[in-house]
Amino acid sequence: NAGVTQTPKFRVLKTGQSMTLLCAQDMNHEYMYWYRQDPGMGLRLIHYSVGEGTTAKGEVPDGYNVSRLKKQNFLLGLESAAPSQTSVYFCASRQGARIMNTEAFFGQGTRLTVV
Amino acid sequence: AQSVTQLDSQVPVFEEAPVELRCNYSSSVSVYLFWYVQYPNQGLQLLLKYLSGSTLVKGINGFEAEFNKSQTSFHLRKPSVHISDTAEYFCAVSLSSASKIIFGSGTRLSIRP
């Protein structure tokens, strides 16, 4: 049981380049999330999805886009990377907010550096 | 909107001493509360959660937390810490009827021998 898998684990981008981060979960979870983690700021929610074909903005959505074409995958895109997007990105999934086992499961993170 | 405040960014303690990591939340409706732990260069894993019922919640690795609705707090405690507890700890809140999980800024726990 792989849980939540993020690809890639590390990446260095030049300013203005684009890239897509992939998150895959094998737990049949409805909800999926993308967070960024920066020192002293905890985890901030970028975008999230409550089901296949749906997406919603979180706390810091600017500069990012997401898609959830398949229930098991949640993609995070950077169209034109900026140094301010240097961060560690975490994907998480959750069965559902109204269900008792409502904790989130996290991937191992993607360390992105924009130079 | 809900929010979470972790009052201490760093907490140094001696090994085998007790520790309390503080967390306060704001919400006008009922919430689910969580504590997650992050070991160096790893993702987050759940320590414990409060959904409803008993206000004292026990988690893994000897940690426990108490939900206090009147003080809107969910402090994490351990009676005797070990070197292996060195990590960053995050408090998080989720509205019972919503899907977002909002995290606090984290508390770095460092254990001195």
A/B interface, count of CB pairs below 8 Å: 66
Please write the tens of the pLDDT for every residue from B26-38: 987 788 899 999 9
Pairing relation of β-strands A42-49 and A56-57? antiparallel
Residue linked to tokens 């070990």: B82
Q: Do A90 and B44 touch (CB under 8 A)?
A: yes
CB contact under 8 A, A48 and B43: no
CB-CB neighbours of A51 under 10 Å: 14
What's the N-to-C CA distance of chain A in angstroms? Answer: 36
Cβ-count burial A71-104 (b if 16+ within 10 Å, e if not): bbbbbbebeebeeebbbbbbbbbbbebeeeebbb
Q: B61 phi and psi, to 5 degrees?
A: 60, 30
Task: Report chain A residues whose CB lies below 8 A from the CB of B100.
Answer: 45, 48, 58
For residues B47-60, average pLDDT: 91
Alpha-carbon distance A48 to nearest alpha carbon in chain B (angstroms): 8
* Tokens representing residue A17 in the block: 């380049």
A106 interfacial to chain B (CB closer than 8 Å): yes
> What burial class does residue A63 get, using C-beta atoms within 10 Å of its C-beta: 0-12 exposed, 13-18 middle, 19+ buried?
middle
> Is any Cβ of chain A less than 8 angstroms from the Cβ of B25?
no
Tens of pLDDT, residue by residue over A56-109, are 999 999 999 999 999 999 999 999 999 999 999 999 999 876 666 678 899 999
